[in-house]
Amino acid sequence: MLVNKPVVVVGAGLAGLSAANALARAGHRVVLAEAGDAHGGCCSTTAVDGFTFNNGAVYVAVPSLLRRGFARLGLDLDAELRLVAIADPIESHLEDGSVVHLASADTAWVDGPRAQSRTEILQHGLARLRRQWGPVYRTLVEDVLPHEPTLWRALLRLGRYLPRMRGHVDSLIEDCFPDPGVQAAVSAVLLYSGIAPERLPATQIIGLMALLEEGFHLPEGGMGAVTDALFRYLPRPDVDVRLGQAVRRIDVAGGRVRGVLLADGERIETQHVLATTSGFDVVRNLLPPGSIPRRLARICRDAPLSHRAVSIQLGCSGVAAPGAFIVNHVPAMAHQWRMHRRPSSAPDWLSWTVPTRVLPTLAGAGKSIVELYAPATGIDTAADWSPDMTDSAVRLHVEALRRRMPGLDIETMRVVDPRAFAGPRHLYEGALYGIAPGTAPNRLFPHRSGIPGLYLAGQTTFPGYGVSTAVWSGLQAVDAMLQDDRRRG
């Protein structure tokens, strides 16, 4: 069945590409409008001087969910791309000189003082966490995240686990690991959240469970291989891809969607828009002010933005020494909040990734890529961030990195600060994950916007930020649209 007016999908990241594929396969014509010059959004790569840098996501967690999302589209993930399991995903260097290696529960180990007893504490604690949280993880991945969220579904599937979901990750970690050094290394796995362990909701231990249950993975060729596969699969000419075409306005009249206005002035008439750009952006910048449903206005006002950062990516020579993919130098768990604050001098505590440790071909022979995120705090809006702040963040963090890696020889540097994340990268206010990790699902933007014909997807909607989850947000928004159409006949 081909419907006359096209569905307009806003944004060609993971959510938009998944949605466009699902819609076309359901018989809809689609216009896929992407503001940037290329598809992929926060899951893409760019080659600079022979180095393949990520434009956002640095690894794939929960590959089973990604595989299942691809399968829903009729795609075999493993035939489209090669996911490489990261053999040595995380090493954390502690204040006493110990190094904690984290991978699976039974291969984790501690190197340094009291290595044997601390390795036992580590492995025992990880096994305990798996017993407590493994069932929650599997229920989430198999039964909750792939479905449109409803309170009943969540209560039915997760109700019995609710007591353990209260509190914060610090107490959970203290409870399982009676050694402060081991605690520091375990909580460091969740540094990517941008939230200190004492403020991070206990449910976010799922980030560690993802490592223990399924490991972390890199697609051969870099993170862009995931969105490249979805892009290749778009059926043409049913999907009309417009790159470099931002949607400037979503028209609403008579209480429903009527069309969109593109950056070049073209107006596309449509009764269906599926927007995968941030829900904040849709409400604040794309919809006519008088048309905003109360629920969207409330979420916009109350939902906490995720953290901001300066992305510093280095193309290097001479750092090919063996080591883990993620390297952390961390203080005690109670002090890790410092790693999320903008420092005034070169920080002692630092975290970076080396994608070339897993995929050497991302750089030339004998070369490496080092990526790190410097915290960008102390501002209210992305516009408050200044070039001086970027210079300072880069200077202090590169100095800190050189202290930790004396042989570092930087050939190329690419820096993206909050203004650039908000501007050319189109992330609302430069907030990396849109809405803060651990925010309750009812505070995310809904797939059904409340305006007939307008559907929302992407990382500010359920199931939230992440490579595998963003795909499902697109699929769920399409399901909601198709269901509503069927209901209306």
Ligand X SMILES: Cc1cc2nc3c(=O)[nH]c(=O)nc-3n(C[C@H](O)[C@H](O)[C@H](O)COP(=O)(O)OP(=O)(O)OC[C@H]3O[C@@H](n4cnc5c(N)ncnc54)[C@H](O)[C@@H]3O)c2cc1C
Q: Does 465 bind ligand X (CB under 6 A)?
A: yes
The only residue of 6, 8, 13, 478 in contact with ligand X, by rule CB under 6 A: 13
Rounded to a whole number of angstroms, the distance between the first and last alpha carbons of the chain is: 14
Neighbours of 145 (CB within 10 A): 22
In the complex with ligand X, which residue's Cβ is closer, 261 or 334?
A: 261
CB of 185 to ligand X, least distance (A): 19
The only residue of 51, 53, 59, 462 in contact with ligand X, by rule CB under 6 A: 59
CB 92, CB 350: distance < 8 Å: no
CB 242, CB 31: distance < 8 Å: yes
Question: Of 10-18, 104-112, 161-169, 316-324, which part binds ligand X (CB under 6 A)?
Answer: 10-18
CB of 118 to ligand X, least distance (A): 28
Hunting for tokens 């028209």 — which residue is that? 251
The only residue of 7, 8, 22, 61 in contact with ligand X, by rule CB under 6 A: 61
The only residue of 22, 30, 36, 327 in contact with ligand X, by rule CB under 6 A: 36
Q: Round to whole Å and give the CA distance between 282 and 461.
A: 12
For 284, residues 6+ apart whose C-beta sits below 8 A from its C-beta are 300
CB 178, CB 121: distance < 8 Å: yes
Q: How many residues does the chain have?
A: 489
In the complex with ligand X, which residue's Cβ is closer, 94 or 431?
A: 431
Kindly identify the residues of this chain, within the stretch 229-248, that bind ligand X according to CB under 6 A. 246-247
Q: Round to whole Å and give the CA distance between 268 and 81.
A: 35
**In degrees, to the nearest 5, what angle opens at C-alpha 335 toward C-alphas 329 and 336?**
50
Encoded tokens for 82: 């090669």
Q: Does 459 bind ligand X (CB under 6 A)?
A: yes
CB of 61 to ligand X, least distance (A): 5
Question: Of 33-41, 70-78, 153-161, 385-393, which part binds ligand X (CB under 6 A)?
Answer: 33-41
In the complex with ligand X, which residue's Cβ is closer, 31 or 144?
A: 31
For 423, residues 6+ apart whose C-beta sits below 8 A from its C-beta are none
Buried b (16+ CB within 10 A) or exposed e, 362-371: bbeeebbbbb
Q: Does 10 bind ligand X (CB under 6 A)?
A: yes
In the complex with ligand X, which residue's Cβ is closer, 54 or 98?
A: 54
CB 3, CB 269: distance < 8 Å: no
Pairing of strands 109-111, 51-54: unpaired
Hunting for tokens 């080659």 — which residue is that? 47
Question: Of 67-75, 83-91, 113-121, 457-465, which part binds ligand X (CB under 6 A)?
Answer: 457-465
Q: Does 426 bind ligand X (CB under 6 A)?
A: yes
Q: Does 12 bind ligand X (CB under 6 A)?
A: yes
- The site string for ligand X over 293-332 (x = CB under 6 A, - otherwise) reads ------------------x---------------------
- Please give the C-alpha separations between residue 289 and each of 23, 148, 299, in angstroms, as whole numbers: 28, 28, 15
Report CA dihedral (441, 295, 475, 232) to the nearest 10 degrees: -110
Q: Does 462 bind ligand X (CB under 6 A)?
A: no
In the complex with ligand X, which residue's Cβ is closer, 182 or 241?
A: 241
Buried b (16+ CB within 10 A) or exposed e, 412-434: bbbebbbbbbbeebbbbbbbbbb
Q: Does 362 bind ligand X (CB under 6 A)?
A: no
Q: List the one residue out of 79, 71, 83 whose CA is nearest residue 21.
A: 71
The only residue of 6, 63, 375, 458 in contact with ligand X, by rule CB under 6 A: 458
Question: Of 12-20, 81-89, 118-126, 289-297, which part binds ligand X (CB under 6 A)?
Answer: 12-20
In the complex with ligand X, which residue's Cβ is closer, 233 or 465?
A: 465
The only residue of 8, 23, 57, 303 in contact with ligand X, by rule CB under 6 A: 57
Q: Look up residue 284 and give its DSSP letter.
A: I
Hunting for tokens 């290696």 — which residue is that? 101
Question: Of 91-99, 179-187, 313-321, 460-468, which part binds ligand X (CB under 6 A)?
Answer: 460-468
CB of 198 to ligand X, least distance (A): 23
CB 244, CB 36: distance < 8 Å: yes
CB of 44 to ligand X, least distance (A): 8
Hunting for tokens 């993880």 — which residue is that? 137
In the complex with ligand X, which residue's Cβ is closer, 43 or 176?
A: 43
The only residue of 183, 277, 449, 476 in contact with ligand X, by rule CB under 6 A: 277
CB 263, CB 35: distance < 8 Å: yes
In the complex with ligand X, which residue's Cβ is closer, 118 or 357?
A: 357
The only residue of 33, 65, 169, 372 in contact with ligand X, by rule CB under 6 A: 33
Q: List the one residue out of 29, 423, 40 whose CA is nearest residue 243.
A: 40
In the complex with ligand X, which residue's Cβ is closer, 56 or 181?
A: 56
Q: Does 475 bind ligand X (CB under 6 A)?
A: no
Q: Does 433 bind ligand X (CB under 6 A)?
A: yes
Residues at the interface with ligand X (CB under 6 A)? 10-16, 33-36, 41-43, 56-59, 61, 246-247, 276-277, 311, 426, 432-433, 458-459, 465-467, 470
